[in-house]
Structure 1
Amino acid sequence: MFFILVSLEQALSQTEKEIKKRHEEYLNPGFARMLSLLSFDKKFDRAHGTYIWDKKGNKYLDFLGGYGSLNLGHNPQNVINAIKKVEQVPNILQASLNPFSGVLGENLAKITPGDLKHTFLCNSGAEAVEGALKLARKSTGKNKIVYCEGSFHGKTYGSLSVSGREKYKKGFGSLLPGCIEIPYGNLEELKKALEEDSEDIAAFILEPIKGEGGIITPPEGYLREVRQLCDKFEVLMICDEIQTGLARTGEMFACDHEKVTPDILCMAKSLGGGVMPIGAFITTEKLWKKAYGKFEEALLHTSTFGGNTRASVAAIATLEEIYQKDLCSKAKEKGEYMSNKMLELKDKHPLIKEVRGKGLMVGIEFKTIESKVLNKLSGGAAGKLSEEYTGALIAEMLQNEFRVITAYTLNNPNVIRFEPPLTVSTEDIDVVADALDVILKKNSSFVNLAANSSKKFIGNIIKKSR
């Protein structure tokens, strides 16, 4: 049988209509329709740094940054050039020790806190979390994992089991047994959980800043207290730095703010410079030996593409860029500037409930404000909209009226996140703050927001909410 396949040349010249049709027909129809409702289905032809351009040549500011994957910005040339240097080198060759993954392992041991030493390389954040959970169970001989309400660690079975939103778990049957949920930032609840069952709790996994939960920062000293409790009850501490790591918060890792060394640290997203997919977890020599130290245990946890040449080289070049450009300091400085601009807006606009974050990981939460009349006319859907979609409506206006790209957080849709490349300028931050100021002046309540937003989007959401 002969098939006429779509060529790369044809793929490059697709129209927006053709792209949407293929996604609806061959990929995820629901996701394609969702992006279409928000008018997030534009075709972009070019990207560099903090900017992307659509097919008409319009320039957009990217303040979403691939959910923290683009710390170096779009298409960082030094990372691309590094990959070109190894284009003739075997990319995947299991019957050999990859020289580049070994260098990356050494570099990660140098930049991570404390005595973290042995790295497992994979392809994504969810894989890094899966590996961390397996290592925790194997090295301790215990079964249970404590995790936080509202957390997000991935959508594979293990990582989903320790993620804190029921919406993403429902309908998938039995997940990983022995997972215990506690409130984020609550030391008393953690202590209580560890006291009750420390003999069978392998680890406590947490985000130093809760990302998809709404950019939630814990109380000052929380990580240090967690470290002490884990030591006291002989439970491993796993830090998920997938979104917070690699200079995003103003330190190389968010746990560095409190000078805390976890037993296992997960990273991914920006590790590949936004060019190559790569994830990793790193742990101590002691724990690695307990889990995989014997000859017959060396192949118990592997990944075909993990640590391949191009991904490893991209990560090596990314780390060089972060240090050479002093992006930790830049993230701290620009992050303070952006937070102050957003706090100024909070003082002016009642729709803003709170501004949170650290470094260039900033979230704005909006209040729940709806009209009784609108709520009655919509059969209660307006209340649901204001509770769950305010962030989406504002993100839609930012992109379609002001060409600023951002999005709401998965576990708290009333929060929009700003995670621009760490190379962002103060002038670009000003543009975003001014755009948000204009939107909020026109939309002092959810009623105004609903009236001024995309009628197609509002109409469809109300229809589904009834």
Structure 2
Amino acid sequence: MDKQNLTAAELTKLDQKHFIHPTSSIQEQQEHGAAIIFKEGNGVYLTDVNGKTYIEGMASLWNVNVGYGRKELAKVAQEQMEALAFSSCFATFSNEPAIRLAAKLAELTPGDLQAAFFTSGGSESNDTAYKLVRHYWKVKGQPQKTKIISREKGYHGVAVGSTSATGIKDFHHMTSSLAPGFLHVEAFSTEALRELIIQEGADTIAAFIAEPVQGAGGVNIPPDDYFKEVRRICDEHQILFIADEVITGFGRTGKWFACEHYGVTPDVMLVAKGISSGYSQLGAVIVREFIHQDLIKYSEGTLLHGFTYSGHPTACAVALKNIEILEEEQLIENAEKMGLIFSNHLQQLQQECKIVGEIRSLGLIGALELVKDQETNERFPAKVSPKVIAEARKRGLILRTVTFGNADTIVFSPPLVINEQEIKEMFDILKEAIEAVQAQLFASEK
């Protein structure tokens, strides 16, 4: 078989036989094959092996911030690979791209966030943070401070620790071996947080972790004063505050980092996804100066935590170029500007489609709920959003659905390069898809 000229049917058979897909239905893959086999991308568009083009309304997995087809990122990767593709950062070895990127992150992040530990992605960043904060309290003479409080509907990844921190119960059903020491609290209740701290004892709690805007849980946006109160509570009880900016970082919400909307500096910030726009696998854990200095002062011997690809030179070089693009093309400003247009289209869709309920957005991340009755918020007996997603895909638009618990939600996260015309095109397709499903739903009731 000529590996360079495989047909779509041949690729589908190989996919079914050899490729176990992440976060997918194994049965559906075997029955129908891959939903789409992509071949190339440009800007906000992807093209499949059959030549059909789609608007990528999710920037793939919330991460292709600078859009597809960036030859300058391919070029910098090639140049770095030719010079130094990889080198270890264990035993204090280092490389220039990793050093420069760590310094750049200190410059971009708010407050005195100063030092970075590099990972390969968001789940690794989360698990690293849990280990680091527990190690921090241990070397500070408080080894009993081990518990991590996270929030209901929060998503933090799928490694053992990050799955345990995730507050979406569906992710807990895959395994019965969740890690101990993780607690969950109501998403936007600071009173519930205070009560849980009192109940457990502040001297047993290492950190509180939260996404500034919950992503996979349904794009849930906090009240304006929520994180300021969280910051006060954490300071009052000597609990470290971790902001998971894996989805929201690097411009997604119209600021470099979403916590800037709320006027707070976390003690630890987690990043991945938009740091390289998906062009290379990379994440980081960034800590404030006092944490870094205490680790220097109190740690002894080797910090026995690290990944083969921590500080990967090629990934770090790509990230530096990606950040340069975000700056030079003013894509954070574009996210803010296009976010207002995006919000207007959401409002119009709510007015014109009777099954569109609550809408919410911040910059270029958003969501809409599907309901049977806008006034009462009554839901349909069966989830409707997957049907809308399927209709949108037929028409050339890729979005995601959230159906955990009572949610029947469509979420959005387009590349930050999107323009006004492309936003209109996206919402025109979505409206057609919603109206098609809407007609089916109410026709069946007659």
Choose from 41, 61, 73 the match for 1:47.
Answer: 41
Please name the residue that 2:133 is paired with. Answer: 136
1:13 and 2:16 aligned: no
Choose from 60, 68, 75 the match for 1:66.
Answer: 60
Please name the residue that 1:91 is paired with. Answer: 85
1:208 and 2:208 aligned: no
Please name the residue that 1:119 is paired with. Answer: 116
Please name the residue that 1:458 is paired with. Answer: none
Distance 1:168 1:353 in 2: 26
- Is this contact kept in 1: 2:156–2:244, CA < 8 A? yes
1:102 and 2:92 aligned: no
Please name the residue that 1:302 is paired with. Answer: 306
TM-score by length of 2: 0.89
Please name the residue that 1:409 is paired with. Answer: 402
Q: Give how far 1:208 is off.
A: 0.5
**CA displacement, residues 73-105 of structure 1 (integer Å, 9 cap, x when unaligned):** 113222222112212222222273211100000
- Is this contact kept in 2: 1:38–1:396, CA < 8 A? no
Q: Give how far 1:302 is off.
A: 0.9
Q: How does 1:33-432 map to 2 (within 5 A)?
A: 33-34=27-28, 41-94=35-88, 96-140=93-137, 141=143, 142-196=145-199, 197-291=201-295, 296-367=300-371, 385-386=382-383, 390-400=384-394, 402-409=395-402, 411=404, 414-432=408-426
Distance 1:259 1:65 in 2: 27
Amino acid corresponding to residue 353 of structure 2 in structure 1: H
Q: Give how far 1:444 is off.
A: 2.7
Cα distance change of structure 1 residues 440 and 36 upon mapping to structure 2, 3 Å threshold: farther
Tell me, which stretches of 5 or more residues in structure 1 are unaligned?
Answer: 1-5, 370-381, 452-466
Partner SS for 1:363? strand
Distance 1:39 1:398 in 2: 19
Cα distance change of structure 1 residues 284 and 251 upon mapping to structure 2, 3 Å threshold: same
**Stretch of structure 1 that moved more, 247-256 or 135-144:** 135-144
Q: Give how far 1:45 is off.
A: 2.2
Partner SS for 1:21? helix
**CA displacement, residues 174-207 of structure 1 (integer Å, 9 cap, x when unaligned):** 3221211111111110111123311111110001
Partner SS for 1:385? coil
Cα distance change of structure 1 residues 176 and 364 upon mapping to structure 2, 3 Å threshold: same
Distance 2:30 2:247 in 1: 26
Cα distance change of structure 1 residues 186 and 38 upon mapping to structure 2, 3 Å threshold: farther
Distance 1:256 1:160 in 2: 26
Over the residues paired in the alignment, what is the CA RMSD in angstroms?
A: 2.4
- Is this contact kept in 2: 1:20–1:32, CA < 8 A? no
**CA displacement, residues 209-257 of structure 1 (integer Å, 9 cap, x when unaligned):** 0111111001111111111111111111000000011000000000011
**CA displacement, residues 282-304 of structure 1 (integer Å, 9 cap, x when unaligned):** 00232134446567444321111
Distance 1:138 1:85 in 2: 38
Cα distance change of structure 1 residues 47 and 35 upon mapping to structure 2, 3 Å threshold: farther
Cα distance change of structure 1 residues 251 and 450 upon mapping to structure 2, 3 Å threshold: farther
Please name the residue that 1:377 is paired with. Answer: none
Cα distance change of structure 1 residues 186 and 40 upon mapping to structure 2, 3 Å threshold: farther
Distance 2:30 2:19 in 1: 15
Distance 2:33 2:226 in 1: 40
**Identity over aligned residues, as a percent?**
27
1:441 and 2:444 aligned: no
Distance 1:19 1:110 in 2: 45
Distance 1:295 1:437 in 2: 57
Q: Give how far 1:40 is off.
A: 6.1
Please name the residue that 1:462 is paired with. Answer: none
Amino acid corresponding to residue 89 of structure 1 in structure 2: A
Cα distance change of structure 1 residues 37 and 243 upon mapping to structure 2, 3 Å threshold: farther
Q: Give how far 1:38 is off.
A: 8.5
Distance 1:281 1:149 in 2: 22
- Is this contact kept in 2: 1:129–1:266, CA < 8 A? yes
- Is this contact kept in 2: 1:121–1:280, CA < 8 A? yes
Amino acid corresponding to residue 17 of structure 1 in structure 2: A
Partner SS for 1:92? coil
Amino acid corresponding to residue 269 of structure 2 in structure 1: L
Tell me, which stretches of 5 or more residues in structure 2 are unaligned?
Answer: 138-142, 374-378
Cα distance change of structure 1 residues 437 and 38 upon mapping to structure 2, 3 Å threshold: farther
- Is this contact kept in 2: 1:292–1:300, CA < 8 A? no
- Is this contact kept in 2: 1:39–1:396, CA < 8 A? no
Distance 2:245 2:45 in 1: 25
- Is this contact kept in 1: 2:15–2:33, CA < 8 A? no
Distance 1:37 1:24 in 2: 9
Partner SS for 2:14? helix
Q: Give how far 1:171 is off.
A: 4.6
Amino acid corresponding to residue 285 of structure 2 in structure 1: F
Cα distance change of structure 1 residues 258 and 232 upon mapping to structure 2, 3 Å threshold: same
> How many residues are matched?
427
Amino acid corresponding to residue 406 of structure 1 in structure 2: L
Distance 2:275 2:31 in 1: 32
Please name the residue that 2:140 is paired with. Answer: none
Q: Give how far 1:450 is off.
A: 8.7
Partner SS for 1:52? strand
